[in-house]
Chain A
């Protein structure tokens, strides 16, 4: 791994429970990301998405985020003012969320939304902004960018919407992209296209990627390194190609529970939740 873009040490996120005490949902997570593809896998409630959000400081009170170190290119994110943080978001680190239906503004044309992501960071002549928007739409392989830029989000299919999201998140050329289940709402064929696009951008622009997903197969075929999260902790770290050799019982249990294309098993093994401490 080259020098780290992002360093996370002992990240903890907690929320108050109805009874008043605080519940820790991320419990002392540490990792570093360079210009590479890091996958974070886990099931619902494992804390993987909250980890992604905490990095961008998107956790609002009463949620509480603490870390011994949370640094992006050497700057401690937890010390930044809200204004300074806003500059990091988009231009430094950006995030693609799961479902384009809920993350695009329904009453703003696609082209204007993408332009906004760019203009927020630097003032540019409008002609240049327009050109960049069209280029970006081409980069995410939208065939007819001039027309698509004029559409509203409801006029897009799921795959197109997600490509628009990616265009918007990448137009300011961030160093690090956090993709939180970017393809879970999409069909397999569209999924492959969207991932290819992100992959090409990671390679060509030398971007770092944190890929958050519940899908073990997808992450192992797509990332360089994998962290497995369970109940707020990283239980396993391994090279993506070696996921099959994972040792932690939770990881092994997850792998075994996935049905296979040539599945002739009478029954799928299920996790013993009591042994895992209950989920």
Chain B
């Protein structure tokens, strides 16, 4: 059974259909990347899976359980999202502790204290940050909090929407290492949205290239590294990132 299965997913915003028949499966413990340029629909797919985009047709299921169109608490507990911008995704007037406690209130889970401490430890944040506010933290520390916030309900799947693109190079390296370690330690499944092919190469096992709301190609990371992508558009994307990395 796959951890996440998406079949013929078409998402609309009002009258505008932004993805067309997107289908993919992610195995348990696998890290799967959706890549493409702005407007390709890659983030929209994540938004539909997480329940932020409500107008969609097709099938989404996690660990065999289909997702409904409404708020789906059981689904959310299995499948949590980490957003791009840690400056925008944490409530500025809530302490880190309050932010991390919120999922417990929503899901009615106990054992709050122990789990918060464990989550902070897992993301490598010292305990003294627990009662601080987001503005007292650096960008990298905030993104660690956002990851901890997703982890406290002990989900099996993490949806990562450009998790490092708002961060500096050296901080990006730390967060990428953290994500890699967490996946290994907790056996998590990742669905990663990014525009950066080097990040895919580091963090993913397989990728799908999206363009104008459609998947144009699905490949393994080995194929990406070996320059064995077949679709002309994917090859072009790769060439553009390559040109910069080797120059």
A residues lining the B interface (CB < 8 Å):
43-44, 158, 187-192, 214-218, 220-221, 253-254, 257-271, 279
A263–B202 contact, CB under 8 A?
yes
Return the chain A residue nearest B139 by Cβ.
A44
For residue B170, CB closer than 8 A to chain A, the reply is yes
A201 to chain B, nearest CB (A): 20
A189–B247 contact, CB under 8 A?
no
B173–A268 contact, CB under 8 A?
yes
In the complex where A187-B37, A221-B244, A268-B173 touch, is A259 in contact with B195 (Cβ < 8 A)?
A: no
- Measured between alpha carbons, how far is A214 from B166 in the docked complex, in Å? 11
In the complex where A217-B244, A259-B201, A262-B201 touch, is A43 in contact with B177 (Cβ < 8 A)?
A: no
In the complex where A188-B195, A259-B199, A259-B201 touch, is A269 in contact with B173 (Cβ < 8 A)?
A: yes
Total interface residues on B, CB under 8 Å, equals 32
Partner of B197, one of A189, A261, A265, A270: A261
Segment 205-247 of B: residues with Cβ below 8 Å from A: 224-225, 236-238, 240-245, 247
In the complex where A187-B38, A188-B237, A260-B201 touch, is A270 in contact with B170 (Cβ < 8 A)?
A: yes
Using Cβ atoms and an 8 Å threshold, which residues of chain A touch B241? Answer: 188, 261
In the complex where A188-B240, A192-B240 touch, is A260 in contact with B245 (Cβ < 8 A)?
A: yes
B169–A214 contact, CB under 8 A?
yes
For residue B168, CB closer than 8 A to chain A, the reply is yes
B240–A258 contact, CB under 8 A?
no
- Measured between alpha carbons, how far is A220 from B236 in the docked complex, in Å? 21
B198–A261 contact, CB under 8 A?
yes
Using Cβ atoms and an 8 Å threshold, which residues of chain A touch B180? Answer: 266-267
For residue B61, CB closer than 8 A to chain A, the reply is no
For residue B172, CB closer than 8 A to chain A, the reply is yes
A270–B173 contact, CB under 8 A?
yes
Interface of B is mostly: helix
A102 to chain B, nearest CB (A): 15
- Measured between alpha carbons, how far is A153 from B195 in the docked complex, in Å? 24
B residues lining the A interface (CB < 8 Å):
37-38, 139, 168-174, 176-177, 180, 195-199, 201-202, 224-225, 236-238, 240-245, 247
A267 to chain B, nearest CB (A): 5
Using Cβ atoms and an 8 Å threshold, which residues of chain B touch A189? Answer: 37, 236-237, 240
B198–A258 contact, CB under 8 A?
yes
B131 to chain A, nearest CB (A): 21
Using Cβ atoms and an 8 Å threshold, which residues of chain B touch A279? Answer: 170
A259–B240 contact, CB under 8 A?
no
A261–B238 contact, CB under 8 A?
yes
In the complex where A43-B169, A261-B201, A265-B202 touch, is A220 in contact with B247 (Cβ < 8 A)?
A: yes
A271–B245 contact, CB under 8 A?
no
Q: A261-B198, A265-B202 are in contact. List 16 more A-B contacts (CB 8 A).
A: A187-B37, A188-B37, A188-B240, A192-B240, A192-B243, A220-B247, A259-B202, A260-B201, A261-B197, A263-B198, A263-B225, A264-B225, A268-B173, A268-B176, A270-B170, A270-B174
B242–A261 contact, CB under 8 A?
yes
B237–A260 contact, CB under 8 A?
no
In the complex where A262-B225, A267-B177 touch, is A257 in contact with B244 (Cβ < 8 A)?
A: no
- Measured between alpha carbons, how far is A91 from B52 in the docked complex, in Å? 48
A104 to chain B, nearest CB (A): 18
Return the chain A residue nearest B181 by Cβ.
A267
A39 to chain B, nearest CB (A): 12
A268–B38 contact, CB under 8 A?
no
- Measured between alpha carbons, how far is A188 from B244 in the docked complex, in Å? 10
- Measured between alpha carbons, how far is A254 from B174 in the docked complex, in Å? 12
- Measured between alpha carbons, how far is A215 from B224 in the docked complex, in Å? 22
Can you list 30 A-B contacts (CB < 8 A)?
A43-B168, A43-B169, A43-B171, A44-B139, A188-B37, A188-B195, A188-B240, A188-B244, A190-B37, A192-B240, A192-B243, A215-B169, A220-B247, A221-B243, A258-B198, A259-B196, A260-B245, A261-B225, A261-B245, A263-B198, A263-B202, A264-B225, A265-B202, A267-B180, A268-B173, A268-B177, A270-B174, A270-B177, A271-B170, A279-B170
